[in-house]
Amino acid sequence: MAMSCSSSMRLRLNLVPSGRRREDPGNVHFVRRAGVVASPLRLRAARAMEDDARHPFDHVPRGVEEVVGDQEEDEEKRRRRLTIAVVGFGNYGQFLTRTLVRQGHTVLAHSRSDYSAVAAEFGASFFADPHDLCECHPDVVLLVTSILSAEAVLLSLPVHRLRRDTLFADVLSVKEFPRNLLLGTLPEEFDIICTHPMFGPESARDGWGGLPFVFDKVRVGDCPARRARAEAFLDIFAREGCRMVEMSCAEHDAHAAETQFLTHTVGRTLAMLELQPTPINTKGYETLLRLIDNTCSDSFDLYNGLFMYNNNSTELLNRLEWAMDSVKKKLFDGLHDVLRRQLFEAPLDSATAAAAPPIDDAPIDGDLDGDNDKESE
């Protein structure tokens, strides 16, 4: 979805805009005076507002403006430096922050729990109060909260304190739900990109190279500055070598039910068996043990969210149950055939009976004892 942005050419030509300007000196003084009496967090927010006050228009993405303002700098490098508010600083928020900070972006973290110490270790600033966070006017607000809490968390943000065209992005593992939520909640001037990095701390332990990153530019304003900011955000993942996959949120959810929800369901089902390593592990068995580790290290909230907020998950769960029943039926049908033959066919004389295979050894369907198992070692 594209929106028009008439200020883009003005920005490039450095003309005076007709829109509201931010460098009204009265505003700046107000911020400075407020900063003197405010708490440290407020002070930080006030400093960020002073920075913002230097920008000519409050509807021009900051990172992009820097490109135009300073021709001496390496344009490509500067354009990519964004201020990103990570909302939800749990397992995944921290995982993403490590890379964001390494790439030179400024990370402002916010979460239900107090992560100030952790954030400081990462080189990020922590804001307990969402008002302070929004007053820092980040270029991008990245929603990394649990699927189940996304709506409540989004509604708790005072979005009126943000710049009028802030870019909102999310990394929720389902996509149609946040797409509809963001479209229904945010002001029309805000840009929206829904994404799903299809990897996590376990699967991307050795880097993000080659791993799929799904994105849908749900709404990006039709002007160079906003398009450039969207590209700068997506470039975070492209630069790490992710396989960039642009697809609609609906298409993502249809695929994700079969890939992600199925994988997590099988992993969690196997975990119920409390499987342990044995001295004769096959490669296949080790794959199963790894699957259990990979899926159960994510929170149950995440798994529950995959089920609750993906329309396709219930059908997948029903198909899985049907598939398990079908396999069982095939085995038991074979067993019944052998039993029936023994019970109802002409009684065998003692010599034939001795030559007949015992029920346990009877071939049922397939190679059950693993003799021909390609994976056996």
Q: Shortest Cβ distance from residue 301 to ligand NAP (Å)?
A: 4
CB 172 within 8 A of CB 305: yes
Which listed residue (97, 125, 173, 295) binds ligand NAP by CB under 6 A? 173
Positive/negative CA dihedral, 317, 213, 126, 84: negative
Query: Binders of ligand NAP: how many residues, by CB under 6 A?
Result: 26
Only segment of 50-58, 64-72, 138-146, 216-224 that touches ligand NAP (CB under 6 A)? 138-146
Only segment of 31-39, 171-179, 243-251, 361-369 that touches ligand NAP (CB under 6 A)? 171-179
Only segment of 121-129, 169-177, 246-254, 353-361 that touches ligand NAP (CB under 6 A)? 169-177
Beta bridge partners of residue 275, listed in sequence order: none
By the rule CB under 6 A, 295 interacts with ligand NAP: no
Query: Distances from the Cα of 35 to the Cαs of 106, 131, 135, 147, in angstroms?
Result: 21, 15, 12, 36
Burial class (CB in 10 A: 0-12, 13-18, 19+), 146: buried
By the rule CB under 6 A, 200 interacts with ligand NAP: yes
- DSSP letters spanning 334-357: HHHHHHHHHHHSPPPPHHHHHHSP
Which listed residue (299, 317, 362, 364) binds ligand NAP by CB under 6 A? 299
Place of tokens 């590209």: 231
- In the bound complex, which residue of the shown chain has the CB atom lying closest to ligand NAP? 200
Only segment of 59-67, 272-280, 297-305, 321-329 that touches ligand NAP (CB under 6 A)? 297-305
Place of tokens 């979460």: 111
Q: Shortest Cβ distance from residue 42 to ligand NAP (Å)?
A: 21
Which listed residue (21, 78, 98, 112) binds ligand NAP by CB under 6 A? 112
Q: Shortest Cβ distance from residue 76 to ligand NAP (Å)?
A: 28
Q: Which of 153, 264, 149 is nearest to 200 (CA)?
A: 264
By the rule CB under 6 A, 193 interacts with ligand NAP: no
Which listed residue (7, 8, 111, 313) binds ligand NAP by CB under 6 A? 111
By the rule CB under 6 A, 149 interacts with ligand NAP: yes
By the rule CB under 6 A, 172 interacts with ligand NAP: yes
Q: Which is nearer to ligand NAP, 22 or 252 (CB)?
A: 252
By the rule CB under 6 A, 242 interacts with ligand NAP: no
Single-letter amino acid code for the residue at 341: R
Which listed residue (48, 49, 142, 147) binds ligand NAP by CB under 6 A? 147
Q: What string of H, E and C letters represents the secondary structure of 5-64?
A: CCHHHHHHHCCCCCCCECCCHHHHHHHHHHHHHCCHHHHHHHHHHHHHHCCCECCCCHHH
- DSSP letters spanning 267-282: HHHHHTTT----TT--
CB 137 within 8 A of CB 49: yes
Q: Shortest Cβ distance from residue 337 to ligand NAP (Å)?
A: 46
Q: Shortest Cβ distance from residue 128 to ligand NAP (Å)?
A: 10
Tokens representing residue 38 in the block: 């405010």
Give the footprint of ligand NAP on residues 67-86 (CB under 6 A): none
Which listed residue (7, 125, 146, 295) binds ligand NAP by CB under 6 A? 146
Q: What angle do CA 157, 163, 169 make, to 5 degrees?
A: 60
Q: What angle do CA 177, 180, 183 make, to 5 degrees?
A: 145
Tokens representing residue 161 in the block: 């304190």
Q: Which is nearer to ligand NAP, 149 or 185 (CB)?
A: 149
By the rule CB under 6 A, 212 interacts with ligand NAP: no
Q: Nearest 5°: phi and psi at 275?
A: -65, 145
- Residues of this chain that interact with ligand NAP (CB under 6 A) are 88-93, 111-113, 144-147, 149, 152-153, 171-173, 197, 200, 298-299, 301-302, 305
